[in-house]
Every structure is written in C-alpha cells, then in structure tokens.
C-alpha cells in the first residue's frame, strides 16, 4: 500500500532523518584503520539511544543489528562483525533505519578507511552523482521509470559500471518498507506516476565491475559482487512535494540547499 503523507508527517520524518544524518556524520570520526566493524554498530546504538530514537532494523525479519556494515565487494546487508578489522583502503557501506516517535527514515552512506585511491574516489563520486540524478527526477507527475532510467544511463552507459538490479529503493513510512518499489534502472516515462505526499528511498548500488550479484553467504543476508569487484552505495529518504523532491536525511545543507524543507 502507498501512503501519502501530510506536511506534518513529512516534517516528523525530517526530524527522524536529522538523527540518522547526525549518526552518519559521527561515523566520520569513528571509521579508521584498526577498528572492528562492530564499533560502527556500537556507535549507532549508543547515538540512537541518546536521541531517544529506535534502531528499526533490529528484529526486522530476524535481523539482529542496528546497522548493515558492508565491506568492499559486499553490496549490501553485511553484518557488523567483531572480528572484521578495517584496514587502509577498505570501502565501507553503512545502512540504517531510524524510528523517531513513529516517523521513519532510511539512509546508507559510503566511507573509505584511511587512504583512498583514485579508483575508489571515482566509484564513490559516480555513485553519489547517480543518487542525485535520481532525486532530480522525483518530481510530482514524473514516473518511477524516470528515476531508474536516469541512474542506469549515467552508471552504465556513461561510466561503464555495474548498476545492481536485485536491490532497489522503496516507499517508507509508516513502516520501513512499503510500496512503491523504486528500481535504479528502467525506462523513462514508464511505471507508477509520482504524487505529492509520497515518501521513498533512492539508493543506487554501483559495482566497479559487472552488475551481477552473488548470494552465497552462510548468513543468508549478505550480497556480494559476482566478480569480486568493489561496490558502493548512497541512499536518501525523499519526500515528493509540489515544490520538488525534498531530502529528509541530508548531511550536507550546502549541496542539498535546493532539496531541503523550507
């Protein structure tokens, strides 16, 4: 079911999103060579508790953690692990969902541990640009396919990376995952028409190599690139408004100034 949100509900989701964004910004000081990926989980849990927010992922379909921490060739749904020690040049994706007084927000961000490389920097830049190209298409009257087509063209045709198909964006609020599905590929002018009050996530996952996914992890959750290449992801929660798309999980008021609630 698709739920259309009131202005008040969107504003409440933005409060949730601000908490989530604050956690991500805090991770910039935490993620460094020599820590375990479990330290990310510990930080997120502590941060949310201090903000009187709920880590909504815990218990979702049996998932046990506040965060997904996916490293290098792990595309998504990696577990935070006490024995996984981060090293220089690792590419980390941290995905998490916050419930604040019943309002949901969902965002993934990518971080490089210690020193990066030009190849990693380019992958991160292309993935983030793909996210924002998708956001620009999230306009009242446009269709879901407009979002996916913009991302697919940029990622695959213009940059030669793999645009993952198996994992997609979705509606959000009042539950974590609801309709509509928001693929990061597709055909412009096709699919569900976007309406004022819809709230969705846009979350492209971009592989440095081919787009193929491998699901053979014993934990039953973690997806990896089939060719072992690096994967990157960025995600925002978006409100569709008459004034254009509004980012509810912004970490960068300057870059996002045209996409913020007034």
Q: Is 106 annotated as a binding residue?
A: yes
The answer to the question of residue 80 being in a domain is yes
Q: Is 254 annotated as a binding residue?
A: no
Residue 123 forms part of a structural domain: yes
Residue whose C-alpha is closest to residue 237's, from 54, 83, 34, 13: 13
Q: Determine the 3-state secondary structure of 167 from DSSP.
A: coil
Q: What is the pLDDT of residue 74?
A: 98
pLDDT above 90 (res 207) = yes
Structure tokens at 29: 């000081």
- Average the pLDDT over 243-257 and give the result: 97
Average pLDDT over every residue of 157-174: 97
Taking residues 77-88, report their average pLDDT: 97
Is 95 annotated as contributing to ligand binding?
yes
Residue 204 domain-assigned (yes or no): yes
Distance CA 107, CA 46 (A): 18
User: What mean pLDDT do residues 14-22 have?
Assistant: 98
The count of domains in the chain is: 1
Task: List phi, psi (to 5°) of 101.
Answer: 55, 35
Q: Is 177 flagged in the annotation as binding?
A: yes
235 is in an annotated binding site: yes
Residue 255: strand, helix, or coil: coil
Count of C-beta atoms within a 10 Å radius of residue 33: 13
DSSP state of 172: -
pLDDT-derived band of residue 230, with 50, 70 and 90 as boundaries? very high
Q: Report yes or no on 1 lying in a domain.
A: no
Instruction: State the chain's mean pLDDT as an integer.
Output: 97
pLDDT band at 84 (very low <50, low <70, confident <90, very high): very high
Q: How confident is the model at residue 116, as a pLDDT? A: 97
Above pLDDT 70, what percent of the chain? 100
pLDDT category of residue 262 using cuts at 50, 70 and 90:
confident
The CATH number for 230's domain is 3.90.230.10
pLDDT value of position 198:
98
pLDDT at 112: 98
Q: What confidence tens digit (pLDDT) does each residue in 116-151 have?
A: 999 999 999 999 999 999 999 999 999 999 999 999
**Residue 222 confidence (pLDDT):** 98
pLDDT score at 205: 98
Structure tokens at 240: 């569709």
Check residue 180 and give its pLDDT.
Answer: 97
**Is 70 within a domain?**
yes
- The answer to whether 51 touches 42, Cβ cutoff 8 Å, is no
Decide if pLDDT at 1 tops 90. no
Structural domain harbouring 57: 7-259
pTM score > 0.95 for this model? yes
Q: What is the pLDDT of residue 220?
A: 95
Residue 61 labelled as part of a binding site: no
Q: Rounded mean pLDDT of 17-38?
A: 98
Nearest CA-CA partner of 92 in 40, 47, 133: 40
Percent of the chain whose predicted confidence (pLDDT) is above 90: 99
* Residue 2 maps to a domain: no
């Amino acid at each position: 079911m698709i739920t259309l949100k009131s202005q008040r509900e969107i504003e409440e989701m933005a409060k949730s999103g601000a908490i989530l964004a604050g956690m991500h910004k805090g991770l910039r000081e935490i993620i460094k060579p020599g820590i375990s990926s479990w330290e990310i989980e510990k930080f997120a849990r502590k941060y949310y508790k201090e903000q009187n927010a709920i880590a909504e992922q815990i218990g979702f379909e049996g998932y046990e953690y506040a965060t997904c921490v996916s490293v290098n060739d792990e595309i998504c749904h990696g577990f935070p692990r006490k024995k996984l020690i981060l090293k220089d040049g690792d590419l980390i994706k941290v995905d998490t969902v916050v419930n604040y007084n019943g309002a949901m927000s969902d965002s993934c961000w990518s971080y490089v541990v210690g020193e990066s490389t030009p190849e990693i920097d380019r992958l991160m830049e292309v993935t983030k640009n793909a996210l924002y190209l998708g956001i620009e298409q999230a306009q009242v009257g446009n269709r879901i396919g407009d979002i996916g087509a913009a991302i697919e063209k940029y990622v695959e045709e213009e940059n030669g990376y793999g645009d993952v198909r198996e994992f997609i964006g979705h509606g959000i609020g009042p539950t974590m995952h609801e309709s509509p599905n928001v693929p990061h590929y597709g055909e412009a002018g096709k699919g569900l028409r976007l309406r004022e009050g819809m709230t969705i996530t846009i979350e492209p996952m971009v592989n440095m190599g081919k787009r193929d996914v491998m699901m053979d992890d014993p934990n039953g959750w973690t997806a990896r690139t089939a060719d072992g290449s690096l994967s990157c992801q960025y995600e925002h929660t978006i409100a569709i408004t008459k004034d254009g798309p509004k980012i509810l999980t912004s970490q960068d008021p300057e870059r996002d100034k045209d996409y913020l609630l007034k």
